Structure 1
Amino acid sequence: MNGFQKELDSLRKIAIEKQAPKIYPFNPNYITDYKGYTLGMSNEEIDRLIAFRNEGHWINSVKQFQEVTKVSDLLLNKISPYFKFPEWVSNPKPSITYQNKPKTFAQKQDLNTATAGQLQKVNGIGEYYSKKIIKLRNSFIGGFIADVQLQDVMGLTPEVIEKITNEFTVKTPRQIKKINLNTATVDELVTIQHIDYDLAHNIVEERQLREGYKSLDELKKVKDFPVNKIEIIKLYLSLD
């Protein structure tokens, strides 16, 4: 009887394994709710991964996948052998070696004409970020005004931006007509990046209280002013 039961249990196990979805190699960055469910991930683990990706970040290793999702070692050992990362992650391109002596303006390449391939030579810049940089640059007719606009590329850290500006700089800046901060109307101010109507009204109100701005940095005192974007906003302003 025991032998019959063991054989029956064995047949059941085989049947269950056949019903389980077969796992094929996949990129963990593109796990959907359904894919995560079939892999055995909990809703919380799937949500952590999707939130991480929605911020513009990428999973580049098995270790990072577990750090982000908090999946158990047991599940990780089961699914990680099927992870397939892009070629540039598995075999990263040689990065630019930085010399102790910084490059001069003349030695740097023009950020307004740099190709995706040239940008990807910088450590920390892959296909994803090179495309985002070029997409932002192309959103302006004439390209960037200054290097500081790289801060508007979501996901770029200050460290990576520094590496970019070690090799690239804006040599052919977009020509603009600056707006006089002390005479600008609300409608003129809202044409500037990061300034909406509420902020424009606050800027004008503060200007009236101060009887004019003496310095562009005084904008930091304006209610709800995005201080972390002041250097970009200052590109479009003058005091006369």
Structure 2
Amino acid sequence: MNKIKSYFMFSREHRSGIFLLLLLIFFGQLSYFFLSENLFQKKEIKEDKEWLLVQNEIDSLKRKFVTKNDTIYPFNPNFITDYKGYKLGLSVAEIDRLHQFRNQNKYVNSPEDFQKVTKVSDEVLNKISPYFKFPDWVTNKSNSTSEKFHKFLPKEKVAIIQKDINIATREDLIAVYGIGEKLADKILFEKEKLGGFVSMEQFQFMWGISPEAIDDLQKRFFVKNTFGIKKIAINDLPMKELAKFPYFNYALAKEIVVYRTMNNGIKDIADLTKIKGMPNEKIKIIALYLEF
């Protein structure tokens, strides 16, 4: 018992040392608490700043996205799709009225026409009409003093005497509603390449000619004289010569040569439809230029 008790008996120096040790432990724990708390707060502040930066970037991207989605770019109201109409705020009935009007091959040429056809409210019209973009020949019709756009104005109603398109002059073509000097030159150049036109349907495949201009062309002209047409001997000409035909290209000429070699020649339109790359929408026109 005395031996055990001796373990708990300390001298004055021992007690002082133990007391000092306890003080050091206490202050050490206290320092650790305050230091760790301070470091934790600094870490939180740093993380908060980083999160704020990320959040600011997210908010900025959101604003850009919303702005991008809300932006309306200039457009021709004659070609509004169901989806675009919905995005612009048109009702299903209003979009349907526009499509029914366009199915009659008619066009709206002003905001007033658009409202008359679709029956949209003034509020919707005022919102979207500033973005309407009509062709130049429509927007400049009212400028009667401008000679530059005079050719686009509706012609006075006079009795039309139809002409053979293959003998039409540059002036005859410029007299057509919607055709100016450049288009007239383009039509004459196309006629020269082909040796002449074989069908009035050919103008549907010429870039830059509006539906209104095609209608007026068909009223004023027809195909009569085809003596100057350059017939293409599709079973005889080499690939290089076939590729020169305006409706063909090198790749199609190659397919033609392969097909006629493997099938003992091309006999009719039905054979043409079997050739890879043949523009079938123009095939009736192309056939009129061929010798089988």
Band the TM-score falls in, shorter-chain normalisation: 0.5 to 0.7
CA RMSD of aligned residues (A): 4.4
1:112 Cα deviation after fit: 3.4
What is aligned with 1:222?
275
Q: Compared with structure 1, are the counterparts of its residues 75 and 164 closer, same or farther at alpha carbon in structure 2 (3 Å cutoff)?
A: same
Q: Compared with structure 1, are the counterparts of its residues 76 and 117 closer, same or farther at alpha carbon in structure 2 (3 Å cutoff)?
A: farther
Aligned residues of 2:111 and 2:129 also touching (Cα < 8 A): no
Cα deviations by residue, 1:1-25 (Å, 9 ceiling, x for unpaired): xxxxxxxxxxxxxxxxxxxxxxxxx
What is aligned with 1:141?
192
1:190 Cα deviation after fit: 0.5
- Whether 1:85 and 2:140 are equivalent positions in the alignment is yes
Cα deviations by residue, 1:128-180 (Å, 9 ceiling, x for unpaired): 5x752442223443863323432332255778646533431245547244222
The percent identity for this pair of structures is 30
Cα deviations by residue, 1:182-239 (Å, 9 ceiling, x for unpaired): 2222111101112111111111222123211221342111112101122332243201
Q: Relative to structure 2, which stretch is displaced further, 85-94 or 184-193?
A: 85-94
Aligned residue among 38, 63, 73 for 1:45: 73
- CA distance in 1 between counterparts of 2:237 and 2:171 reads 41
- Structure 1 residue runs without a partner (length 5+): 1-41, 53-57, 99-106
Cα deviations by residue, 1:105-131 (Å, 9 ceiling, x for unpaired): xx6313234356645666xx3245x75
What is aligned with 1:60?
109
TM-score in terms of structure 1 length: 0.53
Aligned residues of 1:145 and 1:174 also touching (Cα < 8 A): no
- CA distance in 1 between counterparts of 2:152 and 2:217 reads 22
Q: Compared with structure 1, are the counterparts of its residues 196 and 120 closer, same or farther at alpha carbon in structure 2 (3 Å cutoff)?
A: closer
- CA distance in 1 between counterparts of 2:108 and 2:192 reads 33
- CA distance in 2 between counterparts of 1:43 and 1:202 reads 47
- CA distance in 1 between counterparts of 2:163 and 2:236 reads 37
- Whether 1:179 and 2:232 are equivalent positions in the alignment is yes
Aligned residues of 1:141 and 1:174 also touching (Cα < 8 A): no
Q: Secondary structure at the match of 1:165?
A: helix
Q: Secondary structure at the match of 1:221?
A: coil
- CA distance in 2 between counterparts of 1:84 and 1:139 reads 28
TM-score in terms of structure 2 length: 0.45
Aligned residues of 2:72 and 2:131 also touching (Cα < 8 A): no
What is aligned with 1:32?
none
State the AA in 1 paired with 2:222: T
- Structure 2 residue runs without a partner (length 5+): 1-69, 80-106, 118-122, 133-137, 145-149
Q: Compared with structure 1, are the counterparts of its residues 231 and 181 closer, same or farther at alpha carbon in structure 2 (3 Å cutoff)?
A: same
State the AA in 2 paired with 1:141: E
What is aligned with 2:54?
none
Q: Compared with structure 1, are the counterparts of its residues 184 and 63 closer, same or farther at alpha carbon in structure 2 (3 Å cutoff)?
A: farther
Aligned pairs, how many? Answer: 176
Aligned residues of 1:96 and 1:121 also touching (Cα < 8 A): no
Aligned residue among 95, 102, 109 for 2:163: 109
- CA distance in 2 between counterparts of 1:232 and 1:172 reads 15
